[in-house]
């Protein structure tokens, strides 16, 4: 049987198991996974090879100067592990290597070693297509610098790529890969069979998932809309809640919640949320909100993890009108304008209070998730 190696040393754990299972249908598959990323999923087995990363694990527990120092040490740890992986590749002689995450400077030594020592097939998951040259007209200075770092290695790699995966059908494909075969994979496992939603008539929970960081999502937009909503409709204060389903690390989040008088209307978490608790809480959610910024790469060259959360469990969700703005989504994905989010929230609350109407919307969301799942099942490597 032909042999495949999947490599994930950075942080994208969300769909690594389903990628591993897809490959197992066609190859004797080995997964080389970093200790840090494996701490989120704890995958194990005969062909699962854990790459020690004690420095990387420690780095994310530190702040300030210590974090910066460990950043340097982390790079040398990556370099050491890259050399080890080259030895593994020579020993295993795989027919194909799949890089699950490449868009990080720490991966460049390994990529260059693979390019010049490995003669087999290569596949990649495109996590951020702007760093492959997609949508260059929207580059900020940081993206431009990163693009220049990756430009030559990625161009060399593009000539050897057999196929690639993208995580949303609306993601822009870079020009250097236009002629290559690609597949669409949801960035979360579809888990409809494992969790059941229970309708509660007098409760509406809106949820924002993922890291609670102001640089990633426009929380102020959401807090302001909820403040206006509850000020104009005080009778909704007991029944309408906003849940931030992620660990809050920034003080500014608490300050904004206090500023907009949402302390009693917001559900917060100060500690890490384990996978089971996350999924259980997600199934109490009526709507997911994805408040990306207008000028962010999300919806263009990168998919929001919250999008995958909603699809994974068949939850209706609210999406800014500029997220994949030229793409037509089904009814379970509710578009909102940043200046009229309050109105969209009111419309959603009205839908939720009508059981038949809401459950029909939920059914459409589940059908959308099932359709994506069926497409993933048809992937033939």
Say which CATH number the domain at 84 has. 3.40.50
Q: Do residue 245 and residue 153 come from a single domain?
A: no
Q: How far apart are CA 11 and CA 126, in angstroms?
A: 14
Residue 138 has pLDDT above 70, yes or no: no
- Specify whether 170 is located in the same domain as 218: no
Q: Which of 152, 184, 216 is the last residue of a domain?
A: 184
Q: Are residues 66 and 173 in the same domain?
A: yes
Region 182-202 average pLDDT = 82
Could you give the CA distance from residue 19 to residue 100 in angstroms, rounded to a whole number?
A: 9
Question: Would 189 be classed as within a structural domain?
Answer: no
In a domain, 381, yes or no: no
**Percent with pLDDT over 90 in the chain:** 65
**235 burial via Cβ count (<10 Å: 0-12, 13-18, 19+):** exposed
Can you give the pLDDT at residue 77? Answer: 95
Report how many domains make up the chain: 2
Overall pTM surpassing 0.85 (yes/no): yes
Residues 43 and 141 in one domain: yes
pLDDT above 70: residue 99: yes
Sorting pLDDT into bands at 50, 70 and 90, what band is 93? Answer: very high
pLDDT in tens, 300-352: 888 888 998 999 899 999 999 999 988 999 999 999 999 999 999 999 999 99
Domain coverage including residue 318:
204-374
d(CA 151, CA 131): 8
Q: Are residues 241 and 105 in the same domain?
A: no
How many C-beta neighbours within 10 Å does residue 90 have? 10
Same domain, 258 and 217: yes
pLDDT digits (tens, 9 = 90+) for 256-293: 999 999 999 999 998 888 888 988 999 999 999 999 99
pLDDT in the model for residue 146: 83
Query: 3-class SS at 83?
Result: helix
Task: Give the integer Cα–Cα distance in Å for 70 and 230.
Answer: 45
Looking at the domain assignment, is residue 28 inside a domain?
Answer: yes
Judge whether 122 lies within some domain. Answer: yes
Distance from C-alpha of 350 to C-alpha of 330, rounded to nearest angstrom: 19
Residues 114, 36 share a domain:
yes
Q: Do residues 243 and 339 both lie within one domain?
A: yes
Residue-wise DSSP of 294-344: TTSSBTTTB--HHHHHHHHHT--EEEETTTTTTSPP-TTEEEE-TT-HHHH
Q: Average of pLDDT values for 50-56? A: 95
Query: How far from 100 is each of 24, 48, 196, 318, 361, CA to CA, in Å?
Result: 16, 15, 31, 28, 34
| pLDDT value, residue 51 | 95
Q: Mean of the pLDDT values across residues 16-37?
A: 92
Same domain, 279 and 165: no
- Are the beta carbons of 361 and 331 closer than 8 angstroms? yes
CATH number at 261 reads 3.40.50.2000
Predicted pLDDT at 297: 85
Q: What is the mean pLDDT of the chain?
A: 91
Question: Is 380 a member of any domain?
Answer: no
Tell which wins on pLDDT, 195 or 82. 82
Please indicate, yes or no, whether residues 327 and 209 belong to a single structural domain of this protein: yes
Judgement on whether residues 134 and 239 belong to the same structural domain of the protein: no
How does 28-38 read in b/e, with b if 16+ C-beta sit within 10 Å? ebbbbbbbbbb
Give domain status of residue 190, yes or no: no
Provide the 3-class DSSP secondary structure of residue 243.
Answer: strand
- pLDDT for 157-166, tens place per residue? 999 999 999 9
Classify residue 379: in a domain, yes or no: no
Instruction: Give residue 145's pLDDT.
Output: 84
Domain assignment of residue 194, yes or no: no
Total residue count of the chain as it appears in this document: 381
Query: Within the chain, what is the greatest distance between any pair of CA atoms?
Result: 67
Instruction: Answer whether 313's CB lies under 8 Å from 283's CB.
Output: yes
Alpha carbon separation from 91 to 84, 87, 94, 117, 188 (Å, rounded): 11, 6, 9, 13, 32
CB 122 within 8 A of CB 108: no
- Specify the pLDDT at position 216: 87
pLDDT at residue 95 in the model: 96
Torsions phi, psi for 124 (to 5 deg): -140, 155
- State pLDDT tens for residues 215-252: 889 999 999 999 999 999 999 999 999 999 998 989 99
Q: Sheet containing 28-34: give its strands across.
A: 48-51, 28-34, 3-8, 96-99, 121-125, 161-166, 181-184
Q: Are residues 168 and 236 located together in one domain of the fold? A: no
Q: Check whether 381 has a pLDDT greater than 80.
A: no
């Amino acid at each position: 049987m032909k042999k495949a190696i999947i490599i994930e040393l950075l942080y994208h754990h969300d769909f690594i198991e389903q990628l591993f299972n897809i490959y197992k249908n066609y190859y004797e598959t080995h997964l080389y996974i970093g200790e840090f990323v494996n701490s989120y999923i704890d995958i194990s087995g005969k062909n699962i090879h854990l790459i020690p990363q004690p420095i990387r694990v420690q780095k994310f527990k530190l702040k300030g100067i210590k974090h910066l120092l460990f950043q340097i040490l982390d790079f040398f740890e990556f370099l050491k592990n890259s050399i080890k992986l080259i030895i593994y590749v020579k020993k295993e002689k795989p027919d194909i290597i799949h890089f699950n995450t490449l868009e990080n400077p720490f991966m460049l030594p390994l990529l260059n070693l693979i390019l010049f020592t490995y003669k087999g097939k290569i596949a990649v998951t495109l996590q951020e297509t702007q760093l492959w040259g997609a949508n260059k007209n929207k580059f900020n200075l940081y993206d431009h610098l990163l693009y220049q770092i990756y430009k030559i290695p990625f161009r060399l790699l593009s000539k050897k790529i057999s196929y690639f995966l993208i995580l949303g059908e609306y993601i822009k494909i870079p020009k250097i890969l236009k002629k290559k075969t690609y597949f669409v994979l949801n960035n979360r496992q579809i888990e409809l069979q494992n969790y059941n939603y229970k309708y509660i008539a007098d409760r509406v929970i809106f949820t924002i998932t993922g890291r609670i960081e102001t640089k990633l999502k426009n929380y102020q937009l959401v807090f302001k809309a909820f403040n206006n909503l509850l000020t104009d409709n005080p009778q909704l204060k007991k029944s309408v809640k906003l849940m931030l389903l992620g660990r809050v690390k920034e003080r500014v989040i608490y300050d904004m919640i206090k500023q907009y008088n949402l302390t009693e209307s917001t559900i917060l978490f100060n500690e890490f949320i384990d996978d089971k608790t996350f999924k259980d809480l997600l199934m109490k959610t009526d709507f997911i909100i994805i408040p990306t910024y207008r000028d962010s790469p999300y919806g263009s060259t990168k998919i929001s993890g919250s999008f995958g959360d909603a699809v994974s469990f068949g939850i209706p969700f609210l999406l800014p009108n500029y997220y994949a703005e030229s793409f037509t989504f089904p009814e379970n994905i509710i578009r909102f304008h940043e200046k009229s989010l309050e109105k969209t929230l009111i419309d959603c609350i009205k839908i939720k209070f009508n059981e038949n109407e809401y459950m029909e919307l939920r059914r459409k969301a589940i059908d959308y998730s099932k359709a994506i799942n069926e497409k993933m099942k048809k992937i033939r490597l």
